[in-house]
Structure 1
Amino acid sequence: MDQENWKFVLDYLSAKENAHGNVQQIKQEEKKIQEWLSKDPKNQQDLEHALWLWQISAVPPEDDDWKESFNTIQTSLSKEVSPKTVKFRFWIAAAAVFTAVALSTFFYRLQQPVLQNTGIDWVTKSAGAGKVINIILPDSTEIWLNSGSSISFPKNLQQAALRTVKLKGEAFFKVKRDPRHPFVVHSLNLRTQVLGTSFNIRAWEGHRSEVTVLTGKVAVSRDSAGGQSAAIHLLPNQKAAYDVHSTNLSLENIGNAQTAADWTEGKMTFDQTDLRDVFEVIERKYDMKIITDQSFKGCKLTAQFDNVNLNEVLKTIQLSLDLHYTINKKTIYIKGGKCN
C-alpha cells in the first residue's frame, strides 16, 4: 500500500479511535475508506489486517526504515490539527505507521507463495493411529498433534519473517508470542493467523473445519484455489466454522472452548455429535476399524469420556442407542441400534 493510501487509513483509524473526534470528520474519512475499498477487493483484506494489528499490537520494527514515512505523516498531521490534539495524534500516528510497516512487510512481501517447496526444507511430523504426540517447534511454539494428523514446518521457522506451518487433521497450538513474526497455519480451506495465543484446529478431509480459540485473538479466512477471503477475528470462547458444501465461513460463540482441546488429555467430548463422526473419533483414538449394518444418519450422541478404555465407551453407546457390538482383533462390528 502506498503512503498516500496509508495517510487516509491513518486518518480513519485516528478519527475512529478518538471518542471526542469531529463527527463530520469521521463521516468524511469513512466515505473515503468506502471509496477506496470499492476500487480493489484486496483493499478490504489490507484494512482488516490493519484494524487487527491496531487492536493487538503496535510494535515498531527493529530497523529504521519506518522513520522517513513517520516524519512525513507526522508533519502532515501537525498542519491539520490544533496544538491540544497534536500529542494524542502523535501516538496514534506512530501506531498507524508501525501498522503500515508491519503490513507492508508481513502481508505484501511475505505473503508471496511461502508454501512452495522451492528453496524451503520442510519437516513433517505425524501422529500414528491411537497416538497423540507433543511437538516443540524451533520458535518454541508447542503443538499437540491428534492421532492420524500431520504437521509440516520449514527448518528455518525460527528465522522466518512469517512463521508458516501446514496441518492435516487436528492439532492444538500454544504459539510463542512474537508480534514481529506472525504465525500462520494452513489447513485444508482455512488460513489461521495469530501473534501469540492458544487455539485448536480441526481440519479432517470431508468434514466441517473448525478453529476454536482458548486464549488471545485469532484471524481466520477462507484460503482456497489461490484466493483468500476477508478474515474474521475470534476471541476466547469463539470458533470459526467452515462448511465444505456451502463454503460458508461463520463465527460461533461457545460455552467452554476448553472442550475442543480435551483430546490432548485423552478425553472425548461429544455434544449432539453425529454418530458417524463419533465412530471416526473412536477409530482414531483406539486404532480400530468400525463396521456397522446401518448408516446411523441423523443419530446424535452427547457424552463425555475421561480417558477410559474402549469397552467402557462402547458400553455407554450401547445403552444410549440400544445397539450391539462385538470386537474381533482390530475391528468393531456394530448391529442394530436406534436414535433417541
Structure 2
Amino acid sequence: MLRDFGKLIELAKKLARTILLRERIDEVDTSEELNQDERDYIMQKLAEPSHWLERSRLKKEVDETHAREWERLRANTVADSKLRYLKIMVKVAAIFIGIAVCTYFFSSGNFTEEGTGALPEQESITLELENGAVEKLSKSDNRLFKNSKGNVVGMQKFDQLDYTQAEERSSSSDSDKKPMGYHKLTVPYGKTFQLVLSDGTRVHLNAGTSLKYPVRFIKDKNREVFMEGEAFFDVQKNKEQPFIVNSGSLGVQVLGTQFVISSYPEDAFINTVLLEGSVGLYKNKGSQKKDKERYTMLEPGFMGAWNKEEENIAVTEVDTDIYTAWTKGRMVFSHMKFEDIIKKLARCYNVSITNNNVELGEETFTATFDIKIESMEDILESFKRNYGFDYDIENDKINIY
C-alpha cells in the first residue's frame, strides 16, 4: 500500500492540474513523493484513456457553473485574469479527485503489501509466448523475452517490442527449416502499442487489436502474420520474401510499403489504405497458392474496402491522413455517420456507448480531436453543440438520447 496518505493527495493535486491547466500527465514530476513501483503504476493508470471518463465526470461536478469559461480553455487561450481563478479551482478539484483516487487505490486493493499490483486482466496488454504462457505488459517495462532454449527473441522498451536484436542462433542451415515459433500481441480497448518484427517491419497496433507473428521469419518462406483490429504497417522491403497479412477473409500481400488495415469483427468492411508502395488484396481461402489474376491492386492514396457479406472489394481515393491520425494521438472524422463515430470512440476510450437516438445515428459529422488532452465528455459536448441531444454517464457506460 502507499505509505503516506499525503503523497496521494499531492499526486491528486497534480492530476487536477492536468485537467484544469492542460498539463500533460507525463510532464508531472512525482519523483519526490513515490517510490519507483508506486510511481510507475499510478502514472500509468492515470494516463490510461479508460480512466479519463471518471476524471471528466469529476471536472464537470467542479465546474458545472462555468461552462462558458471552459469553452475558452478548450481553445487553449487562458487570460491572465483567469489564472487566479484556476489556481483556486485546482485546489477544489484536488479534493474531489483525491477522494476518488484514494477510494480507487485503497478500496480496490490494486496494490499488494509490497506496494506493487497487477493490472486488471481486461485492461492489460498481453503477449502470448510460444509455449502458450501469457505475459502482461506495462508501458513502463523494460524486459527480455526468451525461447525454450533460453535465447533472447524479443526485447520490450516501454511501449515497443523489438525482435530485431535477438541473440545469435546456430549458423546451421537446419535452423532455417525448423517450425516457426509464434507470439501473439493483444492490445485492449483504450490503448495502443508498437512492434518491430525480426525483419525490421514496424507495426503500430491500435486499440482492440491482436497480431500473431513468428518470432523470426524463415529464409525462402513468405513473411506471414495474422491480425484482427487495426494496425499501421511499415514493411521492410524484401523481393524474395513477400509480406502477407491475413485478416479474416481478406489477404494483403506486399513486398515493402506503408499501409493501414482496419478489420474489427463488428465492422461490415475490412479497409486497407495504402500510403506508399503497392499491395495486392485477395479473398483469403487459407491456401498458400494465390491466384494473382484475382488480386485487386492498390495505388498510394487509395483504399480497398472488402465487403464481408458480399465478398467483393471497392476501391476509392481517400485522404490517407484521416486513417493514420490515430498513430499520432488524433481522431479525424470526415463526413462519417455518428453510429460509426461512436464505435471508434468506444474503442479509443475503452467505454460502452449506447445510442438511443436513431436520427442522430444517421447524421454525418466532420471533426478532429486530440485524444491526448480531450476527454470523452469533451468530445460528446462538441457533438452536442452541433446536434442537440442528451446523454448520461455512469462509470464506463454512456447512454445517448
Q: TM over 0.5, yes or no?
A: yes
Quote the residue 1:311 is aligned against: 377
Kept after mapping to 1: 8 A contact 2:199/2:216: no
Quote the residue 1:271 is aligned against: 334
SS at match of 1:258: helix
TM-superposed deviation, 1:225:
6.9
Matched letter for residue 284 of structure 1: R
SS at match of 1:316: helix
SS at match of 1:251: strand
Kept after mapping to 1: 8 A contact 2:355/2:361: no
| Identity fraction in percent | 25
Q: 2:256 aligns with which of 190, 193, 196?
A: 196
Gaps of 5+ in 1: 1-117, 336-340
Q: Which structure 2 residues correspond to residues 185-264 of structure 1 after superposition, within 5 A? A: 185-207=245-267, 208-224=269-285, 230-254=294-318, 256-264=319-327
Kept after mapping to 2: 8 A contact 1:222/1:228: no
Quote the residue 1:123 is aligned against: 183
Distance 1:297 1:291 in 2: 10
Quote the residue 1:286 is aligned against: 349
Cα 1:228–1:270 change in 2 (3 A) is farther
Distance 1:329 1:257 in 2: 35
CA RMSD of aligned residues (A): 2.0
TM-superposed deviation, 1:204:
1.2
TM-superposed deviation, 1:126:
1.1
Quote the residue 2:65 is aligned against: none
Kept after mapping to 2: 8 A contact 1:173/1:199: yes
Matched letter for residue 173 of structure 1: F
TM-superposed deviation, 1:173:
0.4
TM-superposed deviation, 1:293:
2.2
Q: 2:201 aligns with which of 137, 141, 149?
A: 141
TM-superposed deviation, 1:245:
2.5
TM-superposed deviation, 1:152:
0.5
Kept after mapping to 2: 8 A contact 1:275/1:300: yes
Cα 1:150–1:328 change in 2 (3 A) is same
Distance 2:334 2:383 in 1: 14
Quote the residue 2:237 is aligned against: 177
Structure 1 runs of 4+ with >3 Å offset: 224-229, 294-297
Matched letter for residue 249 of structure 1: I
Q: Which structure 2 residues correspond to residues 56-67 of structure 1 after superposition, within 5 A? A: none
Kept after mapping to 1: 8 A contact 2:322/2:333: no
Kept after mapping to 2: 8 A contact 1:170/1:202: yes
Q: Which structure 2 residues correspond to residues 141-160 of structure 1 after superposition, within 5 A? A: 141-157=201-217, 159=219
Cα 1:326–1:133 change in 2 (3 A) is same
Matched letter for residue 257 of structure 1: T
Kept after mapping to 2: 8 A contact 1:214/1:258: no
Kept after mapping to 1: 8 A contact 2:214/2:225: yes
Matched letter for residue 348 of structure 2: K
TM-superposed deviation, 1:178:
1.1
SS at match of 1:157: coil
Quote the residue 2:362 is aligned against: 298
SS at match of 2:321: helix
TM-superposed deviation, 1:217:
1.1
Kept after mapping to 1: 8 A contact 2:184/2:212: yes
Matched letter for residue 187 of structure 2: A
Matched letter for residue 295 of structure 2: A
Kept after mapping to 2: 8 A contact 1:139/1:158: no
Q: Deviations over 1:181-231 (max 9, x none)?
A: 110001112111111110000111142111001111111112247596611
220-229 or 149-158: bigger deviation: 220-229
TM-superposed deviation, 1:266:
1.5
Quote the residue 1:84 is aligned against: none
Distance 1:275 1:233 in 2: 31
Matched letter for residue 306 of structure 1: D
SS at match of 2:379: helix
Q: Deviations over 1:86-120 (max 9, x none)?
A: xxxxxxxxxxxxxxxxxxxxxxxxxxxxxxxx944
Distance 1:158 1:272 in 2: 44
Distance 2:245 2:351 in 1: 29
Q: Which structure 2 residues correspond to residues 66-85 of structure 1 after superposition, within 5 A? A: none
Kept after mapping to 2: 8 A contact 1:222/1:249: no
Distance 2:395 2:348 in 1: 16
Kept after mapping to 1: 8 A contact 2:281/2:295: yes
TM-superposed deviation, 1:301:
2.2
Gaps of 5+ in 2: 1-177
Matched letter for residue 383 of structure 2: I
Using structure 1 for the length normalisation, give the TM-score.
0.60
Matched letter for residue 365 of structure 2: L
Q: Which has the higher contact order (CA 8 A, sep 6+)?
A: 2
SS at match of 1:279: helix
TM-superposed deviation, 1:292:
2.6
SS at match of 1:281: helix
